[in-house]
Structure 1
């Protein structure tokens, strides 16, 4: 195998593993929508209509904690303290 092919296979494997695991990260709120969702911007780009916990009081501009499970479901927990 060529080095490019080996690198491509390695990258694909790393991506698959990362997408199957649960994780959390920080994001910025860009919009508060009706129906209990927020639009957010992550390090990799915007994500529209992410569900939030009922107790979440985040507003536009807040940094929020976001969790993603292995099934790909996103959830905003709440804003971080300033």
Structure 2
């Protein structure tokens, strides 16, 4: 079996107001197949997600948007 490859996706997340918002996002991403880790900071307005090929950028962004936040790749 070939080794799993992973990538890190950096997102800017709009609409977070506190640490609970960041925790809610991290908890939701933890349930998404393919997400290995996520570190979300309400202070910085960013989320760093390490994932394998089972989770696409579109799925990750949709998971965050389903919670009521706006997410976009960090430029």
More strand by share: 1
Larger radius of gyration: 1
> Which structure's relative contact order is higher, taking Cα pairs within 8 Å and 6+ residues apart?
2
Fold match by TM threshold 0.5: no
TM-score by length of 2: 0.32
More helix by share: 2
